[in-house]
Amino acid sequence: MRYAIDHFSNFDKNLLFWLERFIYSKINSLSNHQVKNKDEILKVLAKFRGGFESIESLQNTCKECRNIGLIGVNTYIIPLVRLYEYLTHLGLESLKNVDEELLKEFLTIHTSALSDATKKNYRMALLNFFGFVDKQNEDAQGTSYNFRITLKNWGGLRGKSGQKLPSFMNEEEVHRFINGINNFVFKHQDLGARNRLLLKIIIYTGIRVGEALGLKLKDIMQDGEFYLIQVRGKGNKPRVVILKAKNINEDLVLWKSARDTMQVEDDLLFCNHKGKKLTQAYVSRIVEQVLLHNGIRKEKNGAHMLRHSFATLLYQKSQDLVLVQESLGHASLDTSRIYMHFDKQKLKDTTEIMEH
């Protein structure tokens, strides 16, 4: 059903109305492969159909969506809540008062301290939202109002030449980190085996933290001297990664022994002492602890830095960008090209150009 652009005479209420309709449409299109309880989705959808009295209630319901497994909703709700707060303080009378320049001003003010990746998410959220309203509004005469927002010339993004390269460990630091995993004293012996196994799988294969935490026991299979791990990547796309059995055997045996005494949710390979899924924040904390304990300091000490370290070494040793793409599960080869910037040997080769 279509509604007039100013369905309500009150600007705040009208903007909230369109935001809840947009988020509702996005929830129905998000990947639900991480959702375990389908009844929870039905409850959330019912709340959207009933409408919201405030932006806070909409935001809280979106948090529920994320908690039940619809994690992609944050890409939209965070920027749009900021937009709501910004626009409702301007005293506008109609949604028709919102134009390209006003949105550029919002982006400039609210994304100045954010990374380029986050800025792109903000821009995408605005384009998606106003594109949705363009298609869904219609007045009594059958006429639609079109914002035609493009944000093509917004100068907030530095562009590829200005992007910061991700933090990573060099080969010596990687070996020191792996040794540090083995020597680090965790509070509980059985959870120590779990943590060592988790960190080793990430650093030896380069899989994303979320992919590692979503692994099930059946996803890891021994094949002679190797372990094959079935990974479900972004968009639920499957791929297989491989690592040497000798690197994780001891920790895997210890952890499986402890895990067998627990009631584990959804056959997860990694879980807390209650059998529940671990959080990415927890993994980043233990990565930082091991790094600092071994004197390794990076601009970003989070768990995702392990993935960058794996990819950097893989490209340096193989010189095969396609192999990097396949190993990391990148949809596009362009995403993998960032690791070419770390190839010091190619840079050293440039010093020979003027030699004679």
| Same domain? 248 vs 148 | no
Q: Give residues with Cβ within 8 angstroms of 322, minimum separation 6.
A: 333
C-alpha 123/C-alpha 351 separation (Å) is 41
Q: What is the pLDDT of residue 162?
A: 42
Domain-located, residue 349:
no
| Same domain? 136 vs 178 | no
Q: What is the pLDDT of residue 61?
A: 92
Please identify which residue in the block is written with the tokens 């009594």. Answer: 140
Residues that are catalytic: 208, 234, 304, 307, 330, 339
Domain-located, residue 355:
no
Separation of CA 143 from chain center = 39
Q: What is the pLDDT of residue 67?
A: 82
Q: What is the pLDDT of residue 72?
A: 81
| Same domain? 63 vs 186 | no
Domain-located, residue 85:
yes
R_g of the chain computed on alpha carbons: 24
Spell out where 252-293 has E strands.
Answer: none
Domain-located, residue 4:
no
| Same domain? 104 vs 154 | yes
Strands 220-223 and 238-244, by their bridges, are unpaired
- Using a 10 angstrom Cβ sphere, with 0-12 exposed, 13-18 middle and 19 or more buried, the burial of residue 13 is middle
Domain-located, residue 3:
no
Domain-located, residue 356:
no
| Same domain? 26 vs 119 | yes
Please identify which residue in the block is written with the tokens 């627990």. Answer: 262
Q: Give residues with Cβ within 8 angstroms of 88, minimum separation 6.
A: 11, 12, 15
Q: Which residues lie across from 244 on neighbouring strands?
A: 226
| Same domain? 317 vs 279 | yes
Examine the fold and report which residue of 160, 179, 211 is the final residue of a domain before the chain moves on: 160
Instruction: Identify the domain containing residue 141 by its residue range.
Output: 11-160
Max Cα distance, the chain (Å)? 79
| Same domain? 107 vs 185 | no
3-state secondary structure of 53: coil
| Same domain? 218 vs 132 | no
Examine the fold and report which residue of 160, 190, 213 is the final residue of a domain before the chain moves on: 160
pTM of the model: 0.56
Counted domains in the chain:
2
| Same domain? 184 vs 325 | yes
Local confidence pLDDT in tens for the 356 residues of the chain? 899 999 998 999 999 999 999 999 988 877 666 666 778 888 888 999 889 999 999 999 998 888 887 778 888 999 999 999 999 988 888 999 899 888 988 998 888 888 888 898 999 999 999 999 999 999 889 999 999 999 987 766 554 444 455 788 989 999 999 999 999 998 777 789 999 999 999 999 999 888 999 999 999 999 999 999 999 876 678 899 999 999 999 999 999 999 999 999 999 999 998 999 998 888 988 999 999 999 988 777 778 889 889 988 888 888 787 888 888 887 767 667 767 665 555 555 544 555 55
Question: Which ranges of 68-170 would DSSP assign to H, the alpha helix?
Answer: 74-87, 100-110, 116-136
Angle at 283 between CA 338 and CA 75, to 5 degrees: 60
Q: What is the pLDDT of residue 158?
A: 53
Domain-located, residue 110:
yes
Domain-located, residue 123:
yes
Give per-residue burial for 306-324: e unless 16+ CB within 10 Å, then b.
bbbbbbbbbbbeeeebeeb
Which CATH number characterizes residue 335's domain?
A: 1.10.443.10
Q: What is the pLDDT of residue 188?
A: 74
Examine the fold and report which residue of 160, 185, 201 is the final residue of a domain before the chain moves on: 160
C-alpha 107/C-alpha 123 separation (Å) is 8
- Lookup: tokens for 338: 């960032």
Spell out where the chain has E strands.
Answer: 220-223, 226-232, 238-244
**Amino acid (one-letter) located at 198:** L
| Same domain? 208 vs 133 | no
Q: Answer yes or no: are the C-beta atoms of 29 and 45 closer than 8 Å.
A: no
| Same domain? 178 vs 150 | no
| Same domain? 129 vs 210 | no
